[in-house]
Amino acid sequence: MINVPRYPNALDHALAAIGCILAVYAAGLSIGRPSIGILMASLVTGTSLVGALLGRWFRGKRLAQFDGLLMFAGAIGALAGAGVLNRMLPEGGYPLQLIFAGVFSWMLVFGSLAAWRDPTLCFLVVPTIAIFGLVGAFDTVKEAPFFFFVFLVSAATLFFRSHARAMMDQAEASMGADPDARAPSRRDVAREAMQTGAWKWMAGPEWALGSALVIVLLSVLGAPVIQQSVQGVAGQVRLTVPIPPSARPPAFIRASPGEQSIGGGPASFLGLPILRVKGPSITYLRGRIFDTYTGSGWTSSVGFSGPFVPENQDAIGQRVVFPAPATGVQGTPVSYSVVVTNGSHNNAYVPGIPQTLQGPGLQSRLSPEGAVETFPTLMGGMSYSGTSLMPARIPSSQSAVLPPGPLRQLPYTSGRQIADRVRNLAIEATSGATSDAERAQRIKSKIEEIAAYNLKAPAVPSGKDPVDYFLFESKQGYCDLFASAMVTMSRSVGLPARIVTGYLVQGTAADAQGFVTVKDENAHMWAELYFDGLGWVPYDPTEGAVSVDSQGRRADRSNFFGLLVDRATALLPWAFAALALGFGVAGLWRGGKPTAPSARSEVGIQYARLQRTIERHTGHPRRLGQTPREFVARSAVDLGELAPTAMTLTERFETLLYGPTEPNAAAIKALRREVDEFRQAERRVS
């Protein structure tokens, strides 16, 4: 038996809120900023509760009819105030390029306040689907399919209940019961009607089951296709909108392939996935290598040369074997796989010393310094795999020496362009060290002691040496300044060193297939020092540096303001619950009676009495699509002497129901009396 209330109740509001909460939470997770997801989910929970209480308060009142207008105003406010609202969110809010994810989320926050009736409750599904579409395109939330399935079930149930209420109102108007004490209530008659006849497949449980199965089937079959299509396009989309300095990545990411400027100013990231990496013990993915310090940045003295595919390889996509590493370098061979998710990349990002590389439709070549260039440019949806030699990472008694062969001629120990204060600091820091490994570690520790990691550090003033300014004046910066300080100080004491850019693999767990997601915020620059028998060993001074803005490798959350913000965020859901409780108490105290049925509804109820009497007498129900006159005409033979009276009453009903003027009380009273007389006459002849 279908049993839905006349008006949306707590269950309906909960069904609508479930999808909204899961969507905004998943949106925050998809850009790597869970605090945004938690905050928006808390806001939607609070506003949904307040909206449910307001809906109960205004139930049946004229004010409830303005919920659609209020929801529209909220949507306009979310769109017009997108920038202001976004700045209110933690971690810088949604990235500029993804601002519409924030707009849709705020639409759900404001819209939930005005979701009082079925149309507005169901409309919340629209921005929810839009948010889930964005989450699915990025494919960074492993719980997203489960969230989306729960949303589908909730939405299908909500639509069924809403549709059932609408159909029940129609059934009540056309098949209502007698208002007599001995007759069932109008709602009971409507429920009974929806279980039989034509109503059964229009509003009964079969309609709900069928529609729900169609929604689930389309989602299960269509969602993977849409997701793969969107991901393939997303990786090749180029955003041309201007990005303000507060939303730009560091200069070393924006640099051209042949040079690297450093100290370029504040940096922030979009939180977008760039790569998916699979392989054991992978921490650094090397992209480009630079060896010459210019006093303002870095350049490379050697580039790529020769064909992409060696002479013995004449087919694109075959396995390319790179030259063996320098004699004496020991390490462990590992296999890895990389899937490109977003962006365009001229270099393949590889761990350790590359040995082989292969990918569908991909050619590659190795630079003398060990970087791998690919053709064509790597784009979203492309993948490659290979093997690398992973050398030991912790030198002990080994000496730092120049690499053998042609690389010995490169300026790995050059002191050109190094400021005197930087050189003197390196000499002071390594005084008394007994090995090259100890000298390198002392330099790294000195940098960590002096400087703080800060993505919001201002740009190095024009005319200043970036490393000198970083170590002695600002004493804060991002990874490019840390790495540059490590290399220049190492060279100052004779340790061969170079700059490397790429990605740091950390911060996320592997998925079910063993892949780790690498995001744009994992873009990194570090130093590499060459040790005899080990090759190039990474040194990263950001590892032990204190972070100013809690975005570094080691966050410092001990400050009072950060603690205050954390406590306020934790208390926010309770504040909304208290606010909702206050609205609920006020609403229950004030109460409110439903509006009385309209005059035409009363006429419809009386016609339902007449129709049921005719059906009982003839034994034939009124068919779907049959007009009242056609129904009486078809039943004339079985009605006998009652047929003329039935036709006269039917014509009067049509006039009152569809006439230009609203029936008055006197006409309805007279009609009720005539229906009573017809029913009495029917009983006499039965």
Least confident of 59-68, 563-572, 641-650, 651-660: 563-572
Q: Say what the pLDDT of residue 597 is.
A: 54
Q: Tokens representing 87? A: 């700045």
Q: pLDDT per residue over 314-355, tens digit each?
A: 344 456 666 665 556 777 889 999 999 887 888 899 998 888
Look at residue 252 and tell me whether its pLDDT is greater than 80.
Answer: no
Backbone phi and psi for residue 416, each to the nearest 5 degrees, phi listed first: -65, 140
The average confidence (pLDDT) of the chain is 77
Give the three-state DSSP class for 355: strand
pLDDT tens figures, 90-113: 877 887 767 888 899 999 999 999
Looking at 39-43, 68-72, 235-239, 367-371, which range is the least confident one? 235-239
Residues in the chain, overall count: 686
In this structure, the number of other CB atoms found within 10 A of the CB of residue 396 comes to 10
Q: Tell me which amino acid residue 244 is.
A: P
Using the predicted structure, report yes or no on whether residue 629 has a pLDDT greater than 70. yes
Write out the DSSP string of 119-167.
HHHHHTHHHHHHHHHHHHHHT--TTHHHHHHHHHHHHHHHHHHHHHHHH
Is the confidence at residue 266, as pLDDT, over 80?
no
- Banded pLDDT at 188 (limits 50, 70, 90): low
- Predicted confidence at residue 137, as pLDDT, reads 59
Distance, CA of 538 to CA of 535 (rounded, Å): 10
pLDDT value at residue 210: 55
* Portion of the chain with pLDDT greater than 90, in percent: 24
Residues 6+ apart with CB under 8 A from 112: 16, 17, 20, 44, 47, 48, 50, 51, 124
Burial code (b: 16+ CB inside 10 Å, e: under 16) for 26-35 equals: bbbbbbbbee
> With bands split at pLDDT 50, 70 and 90, how would you rate the model's confidence at 303?
low
Going by pLDDT thresholds of 50, 70 and 90, the confidence category of residue 445 is very high
Q: Are 479 and 543 in contact (CB under 8 A)?
A: no
Q: What is the pLDDT of residue 182?
A: 38
Residue entry with tokens 């989910």: 41
Beta-carbon contacts of 672 under 8 Å, excluding residues fewer than 6 positions away, are 606
Q: Can you tell me the distance from the alpha carbon of 271 to that of 483, in angstroms, rounded to the nearest whole number? A: 23
Interatomic CA distance for residues 456 and 445, integer angstroms: 23
How far apart CA 13 and CA 22 sit, in angstroms, is 14
Model confidence at 176, in pLDDT bands (50, 70, 90)? very low
Q: What is the DSSP string of 318-347?
A: SPEEPPPPPTT--EEEEEEEEEE-SS-EEE
Q: Out of 19-33, 185-199, 294-308, 533-547, pick the least confident.
A: 185-199
User: Other C-beta atoms within 10 Å of 150: how many?
Assistant: 15
Please tell me the predicted confidence (pLDDT) of residue 551: 45
| pLDDT over 60 (residue 2) | no
pLDDT mean over 199-216 = 50
**What are the structure tokens assigned to 102, written together?**
């924030």
Give the closest residue to 639 by CA, choosing from 629, 630, 647: 647
> 47-56, 60-69, 185-194: which range is least confident on average?
185-194
Q: For residue 163, how many C-alpha atoms fall within 13 Å in the half-sphere facing its CB?
A: 20
Q: Which is more confident, 207 or 242?
A: 207
- Pairing between strand 476-477 and 452-453? parallel
Amino acid residing at 597: P
What is the pLDDT at residue 601?
75
d(C-alpha 389, C-alpha 334), whole Å: 6
When mean pLDDT is compared over 194-198, 620-624, 672-676, the highest value belongs to 672-676
Element (H, E) at 56: helix 34-57
Task: Tell me the C-alpha to C-alpha distance, in Å, between residue 323 and each of 249, 310, 336, 367.
Answer: 34, 10, 18, 10
Sheet strand arrangement including 497-504: 284-290, 497-504, 523-531, 535-539
Residue 244: band (very low, low, confident or very high) from pLDDT cuts 50, 70, 90: very low
CA pair distance 71, 52, nearest whole angstrom: 14
CB atoms within 10 A of CB 586: 12
Q: Which residue, among 277, 233, 225, has the nearest Cα to 381 in the 3D structure?
A: 233
How does DSSP assign 449-492, residue by residue? HH-EE-TTPPPPPTTS-HHHHIIIII-EE-HHHHHHHHHHHHHH
* pLDDT score, position 243: 34
Mean pLDDT over 397-425 rounds to: 83
Question: Average of pLDDT values for 305-319?
Answer: 48
Instruction: Give the end-to-end CA distance of the chain in Å, rounded to a whole number.
Output: 31
Reference 330, options 533, 537, 538; nearest CA is 533
Among the listed residues 167, 30, 193, the one whose alpha carbon sits nearest the alpha carbon of residue 98: 30
Q: How far is residue 208's CA from residue 316's CA, in Å, rounded to a whole number?
A: 54
- Residues 452-467 have a mean pLDDT of 90
Q: Residue 508 — φ and ψ, nearest 5°?
A: -130, 150
Residues 6+ away with beta carbon under 8 Å from 674: 649, 652
pLDDT for the residue 516: 92
Q: Is the pLDDT of residue 242 over 50?
A: no
In this predicted model, what pLDDT tens digit does every residue of 547-593 receive, in sequence order? 775 444 443 333 444 444 444 444 544 454 454 445 444 444 444 44
